[in-house]
Chains A and B, each alone.
Chain A
Amino acid sequence: MLWNRIESARREDLQTLQLERLKDTVERVYTLTPFYREKFDEAGIKPCDITRLEDLQKLPFTRKKDLRDHYPFGLFTVPMSEVVRVHSSSGTTGKPTVVGYTQADMDIWDEVMARVFTMSGASSEDVVHNGYGYGLFTGGLGFHNGAETVGATIVPASGGFTERQLMLMRDFQATVLACTPSFALHMAEVASKAGSDYLKHYKLKAGIFGAEPTSKGLKEEVSKAWGIDYHEVYGLSEIIGPGVSCSCKESELLHIFEDHFYAEIIDPKTGEVLPEGERGELVITPLTKQALPIIRYRTGDITSITTEPCKCGRTLQRMESIVGRADDMLIVNGVNVYPSQIEHVIANAEGVTLNYQIIADKKGHLDKLEIQIEVSDEVMSDNVSEVEKIKKDIQSSLLNNLYINAAVKLVEPRSIERSMGKAVRIVDKRT
């Protein structure tokens, strides 16, 4: 089921539409935002220089810092009388970033979230239990409006109060669950205290999860714990909130709503656009935003994109689930290494914990990588060769799947240095 026919449009038609919208957006920011006018002039680019989609590559990036520097409304292109909503992302340091929406922006957000619900099999027949936090965070209200748009019955539960949420889910016969994957798992844990057949009290068929990086293992766990289809949604407030992309029933990859969001994958170090299929930092340019249009926003998220056709019939390109953060990237002998990828490998190994440390060092001119991993409290085997095998399996999995040549060293429980209770993940001795 498609919410909008544009989701299966011919790619040429989609690109024509994208170019038209991109030109408008560039014109808009150049005319209305001194920040962009200055940046474009510096780069020697005028809006009329944008004649093909690839010309976007000539334009400068926008970073989170730029939004923070113009706190709160400095990059808005409409008077506040036209702004109907603001949201804000929590900044861990200093000022938060503030985003604004006109009514037209809200309509776009509702539209893309309606596509997310439809993609997940939800319709007016469904009861949507929304466990995302309501407030400045875009999660709660983003899902709320999308569910209303498809005509579903929305239960605005917000976060917390696990027992009560479970009661509501049972009593109101929720069929679709929207929340973070970790909260879904936590709720399942609490629900299972009622007995191993706890699922008989619930009617859930699908879940729409997002807002945190998720491993394949966690997805499978959530899907199994609730007996539901797992749909992953991606988004960020700077672009719109949840609803930039979502996974369909046929694929784990997330369809990007390209008619509204133009995506590029770049090398985070050089800023060069990478060929299709390669992993790099996701850069998004919203094509239809009014209150806060942004050019080439550096998401900091690492993924790859494919335009391979999908069985579901959508022609929209698909991105991988986020594999890591650009800030955490290490370059080891020319290979980009993301700790989260290594973590996936460790998570699938037996006898070890997720307390690990990646140590990069130099040996002569070459980089060498050592990964220390704490063994689990109960040693899996008291047989030397079996323990050696755990280590070798992790090493070969890193090499075969990630092309990372690392020496794995098993260490004792709680022996890796902790900072604020968490193991220190990366130690780079090369600098």
Chain B
Amino acid sequence: MAIAGKIKQVSIFMENKMGELTDVTTLLSKNNLSIKSINLAEASDFGLLRVIVDDAAFAKEILDAAGFSVKITEIFAVAIEDHVGSFNEVVRLLSENGINIEYTYTLSNKEEGAFVFKVNPAMISNTLQLLRNSGVKVLDRV
């Protein structure tokens, strides 16, 4: 059974970051996939584009077919209240419990502030449990 709070994210390897960014977004919208969130992690000569769409499996299928190197990973999103330090509280909670954050980014199109977190896949269920028990608002979808 899927645990509420796990969200599938599609990561795409990109060599020429800017030009291809539009290629990907155009391809997704042509296939009626609406982009809930998009984030580009850059290294010196490549980038990893992370997108959250409503149907990750379908997005992977069409991106695979277009010749992209694609991977689906599970992440979770947390609503952050609109006061200074609330992001910090979540980060501290995780680190105090020995949960290493691989990366995090803001959810771009949310009215309320929200952050995406990626942790070790083996830890994600426990992490979600911990957050809920501590009263942190985990989003069921973005």
Contact with B along A350-385 (1 / 0, CB 8 A): 000000000000000000000000011111111110
Please tell me which one of the listed residues A377, A378, A387 contacts residue B43 in the complex, with CB atoms under 8 A apart. A387
The answer for the CA separation of A99 and B73 in the assembled complex, in Å, is: 60
**Across-interface contacts of A410 in B (CB, < 8 A):** 13, 15, 45-46
Task: Verify B46–A376 contact, CB threshold 8 A.
Answer: no
The answer for the CA separation of A388 and B43 in the assembled complex, in Å, is: 8
Interface residues of A in 376-431 (CB under 8 A from B): 376-384, 387-388, 409-415
Nearest residue (CB) in B for A415 is B15
Task: Verify A379–B11 contact, CB threshold 8 A.
Answer: yes
The answer for the CA separation of A387 and B12 in the assembled complex, in Å, is: 12
Asked if B70 is an interface residue, CB under 8 A from chain A, the answer is yes
In the complex, identify which listed stretch (B61-69, B81-89, B124-132, B134-142) lies at the interface while the others stay far away.
Answer: B61-69
The answer for the CA separation of A412 and B73 in the assembled complex, in Å, is: 19
| A interface residues, how many (CB within 8 angstroms) | 19
**Across-interface contacts of B67 in A (CB, < 8 A):** 412-415
Known: A412-B68, A413-B68. A387 touches B13 (CB 8 A): yes
Contact with A along B3-15 (1 / 0, CB 8 A): 0000001011111
B: interface residue count bin: 20 to 34
Nearest residue (CB) in B for A386 is B102
Task: Verify A411–B42 contact, CB threshold 8 A.
Answer: no
**Across-interface contacts of B12 in A (CB, < 8 A):** 379
Task: Name which of A375, A377, A412 has the most chain B CB atoms within 10 A of its CB.
Answer: A412
- Min CB–CB distance A421 → chain B (angstroms): 16
Task: Verify A382–B15 contact, CB threshold 8 A.
Answer: no
Nearest residue (CB) in A for B75 is A382
The answer for the CA separation of A409 and B47 in the assembled complex, in Å, is: 12
Task: Verify A378–B15 contact, CB threshold 8 A.
Answer: no
**Across-interface contacts of B48 in A (CB, < 8 A):** 379, 382-384, 387
The answer for the CA separation of A414 and B118 in the assembled complex, in Å, is: 29
Task: Verify A384–B43 contact, CB threshold 8 A.
Answer: yes
Task: Verify B69–A376 contact, CB threshold 8 A.
Answer: yes
Task: Verify A412–B14 contact, CB threshold 8 A.
Answer: yes
Interface residues of B in 45-102 (CB under 8 A from A): 45-48, 50, 64, 67-71, 73, 102
- Min CB–CB distance B121 → chain A (angstroms): 11
Known: A375-B69, A382-B71, A383-B102. A411 touches B15 (CB 8 A): yes
The answer for the CA separation of A179 and B68 in the assembled complex, in Å, is: 38
Task: Verify B71–A379 contact, CB threshold 8 A.
Answer: yes
Task: Verify A384–B41 contact, CB threshold 8 A.
Answer: yes
Task: Verify B42–A377 contact, CB threshold 8 A.
Answer: no
User: Apart from A409-B46, A413-B67, what 6 extra A-B contacts exist at CB < 8 Å?
Assistant: A375-B69, A379-B70, A382-B50, A383-B102, A383-B103, A384-B42
Interface residues of A (CB under 8 A from B): 375-384, 387-388, 409-415
> Ordered nearest first, which 3 A-B pairs have the shortest CB separation?
A382-B11, A379-B71, A379-B13
